[in-house]
Amino acid sequence: MKQLKPKQRAGLRRLAQRPDREIDLSDIPEIRQFPLDAVIGKFYRPKKQSVTLRLDADVLAWLKASGEGYQTRINAYLRQLMTRRAS
């Protein structure tokens, strides 16, 4: 990604300081329905935090047996559980 020039950075800073009510949104159409191919949260990357976790050896072996990325899968399983419990 290209680095912003100081002038561009200053312009963005000025825009960020403006209140929302001053932004003209009249030329932006309202989204009434998401497209069928839309992926919600595609670019959302939550902050990660390192933890120490003790798992049963057979559970860890099962996770690792499916290939690389077992920690990512653990996170995905926990996120699924979290979202099911939240609804």
**pLDDT tens digit string along 8-19?**
999 999 989 999
User: Domain count of the chain?
Assistant: 1
How far is residue 60's CA from residue 74's CA, in Å, rounded to a whole number?
Answer: 10
Sequence letter at residue 71:
Q
pLDDT for position 30: 84
Is residue 74 included in any domain, yes or no? Answer: yes
Is residue 34 included in any domain, yes or no? Answer: no
Is residue 82 included in any domain, yes or no? Answer: yes
pTM of the model: 0.50
Is residue 75 included in any domain, yes or no? Answer: yes
| pLDDT tens figures, 27-58 | 988 888 878 887 777 787 888 999 999 999 99
Is the pLDDT at 69 greater than 90? The verdict is yes
Is residue 20 included in any domain, yes or no? Answer: no
Q: Check: CB of residue 63 under 8 Å from CB of residue 74.
A: yes
Question: What range does the domain containing 63 cover?
Answer: 50-87
Characterize 50-85 residue by residue with b for buried, 16 or more Cβ atoms within 10 angstroms of its Cβ, and e for exposed. eeeeeeeeeeeeebeeeeeebeeeeeeeeeeeeeee
